[in-house]
Structure 1
Amino acid sequence: MSQTYYFPEESSLHEGTWLQWPHHHQHGKVYRERVEQTWIDMTKALQVNEKVHIIAYDEVEKKRILHILEENAIPMKNIDFKIYPTDDVWIRDNGPIFVKDSKGHLLIEDWGFNGWGEKFDFENCDETPQRIGKDIGAKVIDLNEEMVNEGGAIETDGNGVLMACKSSVISQKKGSVRTKGITQQEAEEMFKTYYGVSKVIWLDGVTGLDVTDMHIDGFMKFIDKDTMITMDDEDLAEMGLSDKDINTLYTATNVKGKEYKKVYVPATKNKVKTAYGKQLDEKGSYVNYYVANKIVLVPNYGDPNDKVANKIIQDQYPTRKVIGIDVRNLYENGGMVHCVTQQQPAGELAK
């Protein structure tokens, strides 16, 4: 393949952010009502400095969402709507991956999505990248037959390195298979071509630990080409990482062979309790944050460590403002802020 693509780092300038708004068609109205505040808070924060592209299930839902935004006095200038049926909210995993070609033009990669190994309905969400491409007039590269790949399963440092867990990319264990028969080498070749990286670092991860089979964006993120943010070994072990994986993570090196500087952020002090009072079994992670234009949206849990984590993350992004987003009810369903956002980098679209 002569053409390779480049995946712009999340912290580079955005045209906007894509959100799949929660609806009642899959999990019912109670679910929608419990998680919706997170979307209201994200939209309010994001629309100040970039476009917010809201995907509504249908016209009825669009009207309902419009009403909610008006009730919350959120300006509509930077907000637009697309109407597509979706199965759920996790646009990081099923949405478009925006990359640049050799001329610097933006296009969409449409990787396969199969509901994290066919654990949940996925047919509607799998169509989202194609639908967006058609609607905004962007060229779409169809990779559906080549490889299933979720955006939350990989992290890149913006300078040639990609990190992922085998468990959520190439595992062949029943109930978690993304791409049947894919080898590690084949996955690496795909990443090198379509993300423009030259080095892939693999953790083993844990298949079946959660719906995602351990996505990397729950416990590790690159801040820049020299620095990663993660958690201490005790918190990582509590999240299910093996000693081997913790060692691989801590000793990881960039393209120059230099070990990444590490910034450690704690997990929540306590196990998370939802906003409606249900006690969950896990502590929450702050690493699953989203870097937008001039702001950083950080998952918050009504926990003493919210303040601590927000400050640590704020120190890493001095030109942006950290905004805590309450994700307690969303966390019950296994995700946080990064899982439900997808950036569209600034730039001219390839036609």
Structure 2
Amino acid sequence: MTDPAPAPGRAGTAEGADASSAGGWLMPSETDRHECTWMAWPSAGYTLGDTPEEVAAARRTWAAVANAVIEFEPVRMVVVPADVPVARQHLHPDVELLEAELDDAWMRDIGPTFVRSRDGARLGAVDWVFNGWGAQSWASWEHDSRIGAFVTQATGADAIGSALVNEGGGIHVDGLGTVLLTETVQLDPGRNPGLIRADVEAELARTIGATTCIWLPRGLTRDYDEFGTRGHVDIVATIPSPGVVLLHDQQDASHPDHAVSRQLRELLEDARDARGQRFEVVGVPAPRTLADAEGPVDWSYINHLVVNDGVIACTFGDEQDDASLGVLADAYPGRRVVGVDARPLFDRGGGIHCITQQQPAL
């Protein structure tokens, strides 16, 4: 626990994390074929909302995402038993409902992270410890902390336990051993007190086959507010194909994320992936809307879900929507990009990627 961490902003390589010693597991790229997408239905708390209008907006938005995904691949929705009738009213009839108790509805974070055996024959599911995004005062996780195991059992995947407090929104991979992550998430004292980079890298090597960890120093500014995650990477950067990074590009100098975008671009252009190659960094311009009643927004087109033959992307009723979804279309050739209004999601602290979790096909 006292080994020195790699220099700030540099990629760290997990010792011994090659194909023969990484536990036999590898997290595939999100662009690989999926068996299905997992989601959870909003049933309580701030995610659902306090007023009839907020409740309707939450249900409408979660359903819009599920109903967009079902056009490309199966959707399995975890639902509190009492909410099965209302969920069925909103969802496409082909969406499968599975009953379990929930605290919240951010499946990316409460569900498992799926991996495959090196020979591609077995499905594994990493059940991270979930503690409400670093034991935040407003969060509850009595039920959500069990959803990883529930989903794992439902899939028949091999269960891969982990003592690391982590969420699926805190990592992005290229399927070749590269992982993007954020110092303020995995090294958050509220999540993993006392851990250093080497500890995290060793666990990611064991569980998801990571051989090269690229540490971002921080996430977007709004993500550090009350209902934020303290820096999830999945609204900041993603890897659409080996050697390419899509980066949130806040072009307005008056927004605090303008400086963040510049800092992260410099770091990523200097980083090397698991193959030892540099990245092409492609900026995805942020929405032109800069603020709402709560302050500077973190609206981001990066927080999309790649599905079989498609991309489900966030839109914001913003004049930038069409152009930035065009950047996504170029980054994912051959896939149809479908936009869903994600403003109600971002009002609650997340986006489309945050409420979904892909299960890779074997």
Q: TM-score range by the shorter chain?
A: 0.7 to 0.9
Offset at 1:258?
2.1
Unaligned 5+ residue runs, structure 2?
A: 1-20
- Preserved contact between residue 155 and residue 217 of structure 1 (Cα < 8 Å): yes
Superposed, which structure 2 residues align to 1:312-323 within 5 Å? 312-323=327-338
Q: Is the 8 A contact 2:44 2:103 kept in 1?
A: no
In the alignment, is residue 3 of structure 1 matched against residue 8 of structure 2?
no
Q: Deviations over 1:293-336 (max 9, x none)?
A: 11101100000000111111111222111001101111111211
SS at match of 1:121: coil
Distance 1:29 1:85, change over 3 A: farther
* SS of corresponding position for 1:100: strand
Aligned residue for 2:118, secondary structure, equals coil
Residue 133 of structure 1: SS of its match in structure 2?
Answer: helix
> 2:306, 2:208 → 1: CA distance?
19
1:20 is the counterpart of 2:37: no
> Could you tell me whether the CA contact under 8 Å between 1:18 and 1:52 is conserved in 2?
yes
1:169 aligns with 2:170: no
Partners of 1:54 and 1:80 within 8 A in 2:
yes
Q: Structure 1: which amino acid aligns with 2:88?
A: L
Say if 1:272 and 1:328, in contact at 8 Å, map to a contact too: no
Deviation digits for residues 181-237 of structure 1 (CA, Å, limit 9, x no counterpart): 212101000111211121111122169824211111111010111111113474697
| 8 Å CA contact retained: 1:300, 1:324 | yes
* Kept after mapping to 1: 8 A contact 2:250/2:286: no
Q: Is the 8 A contact 2:78 2:98 kept in 1?
A: yes
Quick one: structure 1 residues 242 and 322, their matched pair in 2 at CA, closer, same or farther if it must change by over 3 Å?
closer
Contact 1:162-1:197 within 8 A present in 2 as well: yes
Q: Does 2:70 match 1:52?
A: no
Over the aligned positions, Cα root-mean-square deviation in angstroms equals: 2.2
Question: Is 1:142 matched with 2:142?
Answer: no
Local SS of the residue matching 1:241: helix
Q: Quote the sequence identity (%).
A: 29
Q: Which of 224, 228, 238 is 2:256 aligned to?
A: 238
Q: Does 1:188 align with 2:201?
A: yes
Select which of 80, 83, 96 maps to 2:112.
Answer: 96
Match of 1:247 in 2: 266
Equivalent residue number for residue 214 of structure 1: 231
TM-score (norm 2): 0.85
| Total equivalences in the alignment | 330
Q: C-alpha distance in 1, partners of 2:175/2:297?
A: 31
Correspondence for 2:90 among 64, 68, 80: 68
| Structure 1 residue 84 corresponds to structure 2 residue 100 | yes
The 2-side partners of 1:32 and 1:247 are apart by 41
- The CA deviation at 1:34 is 2.0
1:235–1:266 Cα contact (<8 Å) kept: no
Identify which range, 263-272 or 213-222, moves more after superposition. 263-272
Work out whether 1:35 is the aligned partner of 2:53: no
Cα distance 1:224–1:134, how it changes in 2: closer, same or farther (>3 A)? Answer: same
Residue type of the partner of 1:185?
A: A
Q: Does the C-alpha gap of structure 1 residues 8 and 2 become closer, same or farther in structure 2, counting only changes over 3 Å?
A: closer
Does the aligned pair in 2 maintain the 1:295–1:322 contact within 8 Å?
A: yes
One-letter amino acid matched to 1:108: A
> What residue identity is the alignment partner of 2:85?
K
Residues 74-100 of structure 1: CA deviation (Å, up to 9, x unaligned):
3x23x2111111111111111111111
Alpha-carbon distance in structure 2 between the residues aligned to 1:178 and 1:41: 32
